[in-house]
């Protein structure tokens, strides 16, 4: 897929509307993880070096279409200013007279961060008049917010109808290139690692990859749903009942294609989910009545590590257990380390899997870590996204 690149444009003296994903965790006004802020820095620096003035826009959280101090982007403006070592001006809104005045006074090389786009319901509604108003602020539009490209929101999709000059930032280029490698002639064997919950959300992605993958390994709620679909005992482990019929269909398809498909050989189990629970390890791949599976066991770790070592291409989405509780995180951390130590081209699908590779200290050994979990799944399901379609070369 060819998308319009900022490298082939002239931004000298232009006002550029840069859509980024600054949806970062903020506690009591303090940003606890600035990964997403740093992810857009190469694009920001490049545009500034080309003589642009920047109008940066993002959403933050779910303010339900009205202003809310806890979802203000002001702390982001301060952090961005620290990272760039230059002033980042902050607008009290993202549209209106005051914002236009601030934009008009922007000089070459200056930056203005707009207030949360989602303080207006029209953003998520994909309202064209709202998009037109955003577009009126700029000469050029650049999207570097991969994590929102699966949504037809005003600042991601509709805005491109009102801006003649559109392009993708470096982050989106990187994301599209890495995910496309999984869809177009991936090097074999191709290993798909499925963990976490939200089985239904991942099913279409799995179906689309069945013709490309050689091996599938499972953990977390995903594994227990598949185990139940095999009519095996899962005890009180969390299962997504509504996904069982689809899980049975996937197992049938996997068998028809003679693919390797693994649920865990053993499990870490407890009688209640809590920090002080006493875990034991099962002897087999089922969970006895009254017990809850919280992680994959040592045999499963060994088998899954072998699958990882044989792979040439790996996509991983979702932890192997209740990763938030440290004593149940071993399976997830070991999988992260095994992927880092493999020679495979590896892509991590955001979310808890990305957090796990960071926690394991191996993020720099992964080929690509996606900045949007939902967006990466939808890209692998459809081969494109609405926010990327509008950036394609004609």
Note if 361 is an active site residue. Answer: no
pLDDT of 43? 98
Question: DSSP characters for 121-164?
Answer: HHHHHT-HHHHHHHHTT-SEEEE--GGGTTS--TTTTGGGGS-S
The answer, yes or no, to whether residue 224 has pLDDT greater than 80, is yes
pLDDT of 26? 92
* pLDDT per position as a tens digit, 247-259: 999 999 999 999 9
Cα atoms in the 13 Å half-sphere on the side-chain side of 223 = 36
pLDDT of 394? 76
* pLDDT per position as a tens digit, 75-100: 999 999 999 999 999 999 999 999 99
292-to-147, 262, 276 alpha-carbon distances in Å: 33, 19, 14
Q: Which of the residues 4, 36, 79, 174 is marked catalytic? A: 36
Instruction: Show the tokens assigned to 282.
Output: 């099962």
Quick one: fold of 6-171? Rossmann fold (3.40.50)
The answer, yes or no, to whether residue 351 has pLDDT greater than 80, is no
Domain with CATH 3.40.50.1260 in the chain: 6-171, 178-381
Q: List the one residue out of 254, 267, 255 whose CA is nearest residue 192.
A: 254
List CB contacts of 323: < 8 A, sequence separation 6 or more. 329, 332, 352, 355, 356
What 8-state DSSP symbol labels residue 345? E
The answer, yes or no, to whether residue 159 has pLDDT greater than 90, is yes
pLDDT of 352? 81
Instruction: Show the tokens assigned to 32.
Output: 């606890």
Q: Which residues are 372's β-sheet partners?
A: none
Residue percentage of the chain with pLDDT more than 70: 100
Q: Which of the residues 74, 89, 132, 198 is marked catalytic? A: 198
Q: Judge contact between 144 and 168, C-beta under 8 A.
A: yes
Calpha distance 118→181 (Å, rounded): 33
Q: Which of the residues 220, 318, 331, 374 is marked catalytic? A: 374
* Local confidence band at 199 (pLDDT 50, 70, 90 cut-offs): confident
pTM: predicted TM-score of the whole model, two decimal places: 0.91
Residue percentage of the chain with pLDDT more than 90: 89
* pLDDT per position as a tens digit, 332-346: 999 999 999 999 999
List CB contacts of 314: < 8 A, sequence separation 6 or more. 190, 191, 192, 193, 308, 339, 342, 344, 345, 346, 347
165-to-8, 9, 126, 252 alpha-carbon distances in Å: 11, 9, 20, 48
The answer, yes or no, to whether residue 33 has pLDDT greater than 90, is no
Q: List the one residue out of 126, 75, 134, 53 whose CA is nearest residue 99.
A: 134
The answer, yes or no, to whether residue 218 has pLDDT greater than 80, is yes
User: Which stretch of 74-78, 109-113, 171-175, 390-394 has the lowest confidence by average pLDDT?
Assistant: 390-394
pLDDT of 372? 85
DSSP run (H or E) holding 251 = helix 244-256
The answer, yes or no, to whether residue 354 has pLDDT greater than 90, is no
* Local confidence band at 360 (pLDDT 50, 70, 90 cut-offs): confident
pLDDT of 192? 98
Which of the two residues, 198 and 320, has the higher pLDDT score? 320
CB neighbourhood size of 152 (10 A): 17
Average pLDDT over residues 171-185: 96
What's the longest Cα–Cα distance across the chain? 69
To the question of domain 178-381 being in CATH 1.10.10.10, the answer is no
User: 175-188 in b/e burial notation, b at 16+ Cβ within 10 A?
Assistant: bbebbbbbbeebee
The answer, yes or no, to whether residue 11 has pLDDT greater than 80, is yes
190-194 and 313-317 as β-strands: parallel, antiparallel, unpaired?
parallel
Q: Judge contact between 20 and 58, C-beta under 8 A.
A: yes
Instruction: Show the tokens assigned to 48.
Output: 């500034």
For the chain, give the number of residues. 394
pLDDT of 280? 96
Chain mean pLDDT for the chain: 95
Q: Which of the residues 126, 321, 331, 351 is marked catalytic? A: 351
pLDDT of 8? 82
Average pLDDT over residues 126-155: 97
Note if 374 is an active site residue. Answer: yes
């Amino acid at each position: 897929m060819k998308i319009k690149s900022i490298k082939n444009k002239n931004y000298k003296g232009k006002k550029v509307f840069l859509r980024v994903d600054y949806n970062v965790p903020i506690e009591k006004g303090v940003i606890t993880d600035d990964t997403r802020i740093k992810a857009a820095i190469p694009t920001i620096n490049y545009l500034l070096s080309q003589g642009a003035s920047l109008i940066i826009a993002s959403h933050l959280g779910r303010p339900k279409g009205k202003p809310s101090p806890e979802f203000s982007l002001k702390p982001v403006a301060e952090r961005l200013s620290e990272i760039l070592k230059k002033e980042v001006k902050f607008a009290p809104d993202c549209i209106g007279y005051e914002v236009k005045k601030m934009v008009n006074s922007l000089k070459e090389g200056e930056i203005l961060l707009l207030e949360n786009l989602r303080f207006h319901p029209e953003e998520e509604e994909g309202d064209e008049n709202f998009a037109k108003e955003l577009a009126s602020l700029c000469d050029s539009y650049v999207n570097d917010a991969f994590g929102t490209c699966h949504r037809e929101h005003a600042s991601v999709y509709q805005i491109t109808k009102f801006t003649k000059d559109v392009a993708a930032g470096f982050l989106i280029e990187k994301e599209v290139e890495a995910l496309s490698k999984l869809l177009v002639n991936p090097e074999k064997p191709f290993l798909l690692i499925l963990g976490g919950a939200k089985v239904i959300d991942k099913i279409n992605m799995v179906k689309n990859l069945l013709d490309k993958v050689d091996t599938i390994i499972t953990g977390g709620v995903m594994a227990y749903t598949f185990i139940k679909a095999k009519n095996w005992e899962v005890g009180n482990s969390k299962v997504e009942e509504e996904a069982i019929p689809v899980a049975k269909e996937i197992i049938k398809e996997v068998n028809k294609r003679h693919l390797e498909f693994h649920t865990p050989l053993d499990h870490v189990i407890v009688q209640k989910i809590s920090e002080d629970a006493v875990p034991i390890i099962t002897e087999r791949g089922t969970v006895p009545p009254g017990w809850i599976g919280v992680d994959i066991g040592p045999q499963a770790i060994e088998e899954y590590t072998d699958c990882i070592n044989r792979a040439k291409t790996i996509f991983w989405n979702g932890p192997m257990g209740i990763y938030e509780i440290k004593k149940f995180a071993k399976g997830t951390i070991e999988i992260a380390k095994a992927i880092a130590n493999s020679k495979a081209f590896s892509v991590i699908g955001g979310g808890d899997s990305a957090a796990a590779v960071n926690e394991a200290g191996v993020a720099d050994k992964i080929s690509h870590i996606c900045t949007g979990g939902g967006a990466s799944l939808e890209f692998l399901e459809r081969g494109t996204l609405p926010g990327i379609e509008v950036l394609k070369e004609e």
